[in-house]
Each structure stands twice: as C-alpha cells, then as structure tokens.
Structure 1
C-alpha cells in the first residue's frame, strides 16, 4: 500500500511534493480503514506513523523553502531523514514517547469510536499494569497526572538518546489529553529534562486538541 510512496521518500521529494504525496497516502489509508481492510500490524503503516507523519508536522510548522528536498532512510538507521536546501543538510531524528498507550488509544478510537483520554501508565511499566489500566472503568485524570507521567517517560527517552547527536529531534506523543496552552506552559519543565541531549533543536510533536502540534522545547 505504501511501497510506492516509500520509494519516492527514499529517492527524495521537494517539500511541495512531499506534502501532496503524504496527503494522498493518508486518503488511501482512511479509505482502507473505513472498509475495514486495514491491517493494524502492518509494519509499513507503523513506520509511516512513527517516522513520516511527525516530520510532516514539523515541516508544516516551520518556514521551510518549498523547493527544499526531504529524503528518508526508512531502514532503522540514524538519522530518520535529511532536509536538503540551499544551506547545509539538516538531519532529523524521530522518536516515540508513550507509544504503547498512544497506539492502544488510537485503535480504540478508530475501532470503537471512543477511548479513554489517558491511562497514565509509564512506558516501562509491566504489561500486567497496562492491562489493568485498560480495564478500569474510571479513566479520570488531572493535568498534574498527565505532566508527571510524560516527564517520567521523557527521562527514559533521554537515557536512550544520550549517545546520539544531530540537528533536529522530534519527540512524537499524543497531546490530546490537555489543551495546547497547557503543554506550552510546561515547556521549561520539558527543557530541563531534555537539555542534556546533543541535538541543536528539539520539538514535541503529535495530534492535539484541535489538530496537530509541533512545540519547540530547545
């Protein structure tokens, strides 16, 4: 389904072409989902959501020359993609935070048309705790609960990325549990956690209340 699109990404696309192609790919995915023909364990689909979609959020946020070229590796090698323009190449790495919970909530929303806003289980918690959280009837949560859980998982991500360095790091997570203004109010908290990473710029990206967000942390 995504093979032709991925082939173009590996060869390199202008920014304009990339945005057109990803919109076309998303339309095809949505059509398959409506007809229940989409396989959730499709590895190409996972790579699309994990690596390509966050880069789209970043490009839409930044003032990037439409004639620049974006080129993806899509081979689990660092970096995930390179932005080529009039200046020196910009390396972009994408990482996921709270992927287990985010993927579960996304499937619930798509399949059942409803889902809890937030489970509040750490990314490193045993599977049995995650299963208990899914079975809870009361899924109420506070702003502090969401922020503290995100902060703990960001610390885990720092440990896994501390040996990498580059131009841009995108940290993708689900931002819908809280309003955009609330996330931006905690930028300094997130910056204090991520400041030791050897990337020139760091952004938190993801679906958010009212659309998509790309929040600069560093």
Structure 2
C-alpha cells in the first residue's frame, strides 16, 4: 500500500512539474511577445511622429544655437541656413525654407530674411503648375503668457508670369530659385520680446491649400 501511495505521489509531482514547466514556458513566450509588441509600437510611434512632421500642411522650423549661427552669418562663414524639406500635404509640393539670419543683400545687417524654394518631389507629375499658393511666414513670440505673444507674420503671394517660372515652375533640377521676404523681421526687434529664447527661435510657414490639388 505504501508503494502505491509513493507511486501516486511521484505521478502527482511529475504532473505538477510538467504543468509548472508548461506555464513557465507560456509566460516566457508571452513576455517575449509583449516585448516585441512594445518595440513595434515604439517604431510605429516614431514613424507617426516623423509623418506628422513631414506631411503637415505647415512647418514649424526650430533654429537652435541662434547666437552662434548669427555670428557665422555676420562673418560670412555661413550666411544662409536651410530647413528640412516638407510637403504641403501627403502627396503635395515639396518645399524647403532658407534663412539669412543677418539679412540678405541690401538689408544685410538690418533684417532677418526668410525664403522658400520648391524642390523636386515624387508627385510633381500629378500637381498643378506653376505653383500659385500663398505662403505665410510667422516669427513666433515665445512669451510664456500666450495672451501676450506678438507674432510677426508676412504673406507672400506668387506672381504668375513668365519671368518667375524659375521660382514657381515645376522643378527641372533638385530645387528652384528661392523667393520670400527679404525684410521679414528687423534685427533690432528680436531682443525686444521673446522671439529668441534659450538660444532658439521658431519660424512657422503656412501654405494656403484652398485651391490645391489634394490626392
């Protein structure tokens, strides 16, 4: 009888061991799947953030290390800086900004100049040419009190004529000539408010999509 009890106990222990081993393996597999899902979600989140930046109808350009870049512009070492390219819509025009922090041409030393250029894009064959959409540049006041912000804006409306096709026509090279606001913001205004803060400034661009082909 004792031998029978011992045999039953051994079988019971074996079953418990097998059950525990099975559940341990299941937990390990589940943990691995959860880790893979978490990694996948992180990748998706990164892609979504990138797409939001790339496919928005406007760009907010953060210019970091402003004082250093201003000194480079003053010295002539690097008079123009460039933004990342962006699309006016998911399958729209590809644009890029450029800024002369110490001014361009006759306003050098007086104004910050801002320009936009049309770049060669993947969907140009499907878009309307020449480019005819109004563009609004905005220097953002970074005052912590939003009610006290005094943004500075300038609207550029493309002038469709033969002479301006190098600016507004479908790009034949990587990018067209730039156009924009040479007298965008007077340099003496920048220190008067919160246009520069933590050695950064922000320039926003809005492209009017009212009559734009949206694919």
Point out the structure with max Rg over C-alpha. Answer: 2
Using structure 1 for the length normalisation, give the TM-score: 0.26
Using structure 2 for the length normalisation, give the TM-score: 0.26
Q: Where is the helix percentage greater, Structure 1 or Structure 2?
A: 1
